[in-house]
Amino acid sequence: MSNNRTLFAIALLIPLISCNNSSSPKKEESPKVSTPVTVTAIENTSISEMISFNAVSMYQRKNIVKSTINGYVGKSFINQGDIVQAGKQLYAIKTKEGDALSKLNSNDSLFLFTNKLSIVAPTSGVVIESNKQTNDYINDGEQLCVIAGQSSFVFLLNVPFEQNKYAVSGRNCSILLPDSTVLSGTITGKLATVDPASQTQSFIVKPSSYTLLPENLSVLVQIIKSKKDNAQVIDKSCLLSDETMENFWVMKLINDTTAVKIGITKGISEGNKVEIVSPSFTRKDRIINTGNYGLPDTAFVNIIHRLNR
């Protein structure tokens, strides 16, 4: 009798439990989180990798102007930094003997003597040293000034010997001045010695256009290390990597809301551009260039801007 009562009670509870389960609210699915991104496309263009070396400006030809007699500088017509033409008077030199002979002028009108010997510029150029001024005493053969030939202005490029294969005579290069001015130049030759301490070899770089610059100016010379035409080029901001900088990838959109991780092989870099060696992309492929950091292998995204090429 007691067993029948127990079965009857269980039979009454089953409908009640079913009603409670059916009335309980269903759990809502969590919404998908999308990341705002901007996208760009692959470019097919030429790209080159540059290598930089230190260089110092110098004049290859310097003309030392010397005195031909003993005496005094009667007058100096130049200052350091002046640009002079060949034949221009630089100094007027007077001597003790000349002073004595000049006194005869007043006694004999036919005897003309100015008591001054002119020293003229042997060549055109810029005065980089001016050693004597008015009333300075000078000896025969003593240096008066130094004139550097403007056409001989070059940059002496210092290249580690193991990299001198990039500094080939006749190769064009870019000269970056400290004020960010960029000059074009050409490697015209090299010196036959190597610095024993740094093991660098010196190459001569001739600027393509004349610019009045001081000697001993330190600059950077950039030479093309490698160049590729019709390469796959993308913005560096599209490129992601691991902590060791050994593995690289980009995030490519497979539809308007989903991006996937695509492993790539990186090539040469130039400025804010980088070459992708593999795999091959098309110009229709959309690559994320902002908002891609930290995305998982497959991510939901929201495109807020497209960069058309």
pLDDT digits (tens, 9 = 90+) for 107-117: 555 545 456 78
Dist. CA 289–CA 273, nearest whole Å: 12
- In the chain, CATH 2.40.30.170 sits at 51-59+151-227
215: its two tokens: 């000697």
Nearest to 236 by CA among 272, 286, 277, 288: 272
- In the chain, CATH 2.40.420.20 sits at 35-47+228-306
Question: Longest C-alpha distance within the chain, in Å?
Answer: 171
Mean pLDDT over 88-111 rounds to 69
Mean pLDDT over 268-292 rounds to 91
- By 3-state DSSP, what share of the chain in percent is helix, strand and coil, each rounded to 5? 15, 50, 35
CATH number of the domain at 62-148, please?
A: 2.40.50.100
> What's the predicted TM-score (pTM) here?
0.67
| DSSP-derived secondary structure letter, 104 | G
Q: Supply the pLDDT for residue 114.
A: 56
Q: Which fold has domain 35-47+228-306?
A: 2.40.420
β-strands 137-138, 71-76 pairing: antiparallel
Dist. CA 309–CA 306, nearest whole Å: 10
Dist. CA 133–CA 92, nearest whole Å: 10
Please state the separation of Cα 49 from the chain's center in Å.
Answer: 12
Higher pLDDT: 118 or 175? It is 175
pLDDT band of residue 209 (cuts 50, 70, 90) is confident
**H-only helix segments in 74-205:** 96-102
Q: Are the CB atoms for 259 and 252 separated by under 8 Å?
A: yes
199: its two tokens: 């093991």
β-strands 153-160, 287-290 pairing: unpaired
CATH number of the domain at 51-59+151-227, please?
A: 2.40.30.170
Nearest to 150 by CA among 127, 129, 126: 126
Q: Supply the pLDDT for residue 22.
A: 46
pLDDT digits (tens, 9 = 90+) for 18-60: 545 444 455 455 556 788 999 999 999 999 888 999 999 999 9
The answer, yes or no, to whether residue 2 has pLDDT greater than 70, is no
Dist. CA 185–CA 204, nearest whole Å: 10
Place of tokens 């100016």: 217
Dist. CA 42–CA 309, nearest whole Å: 8
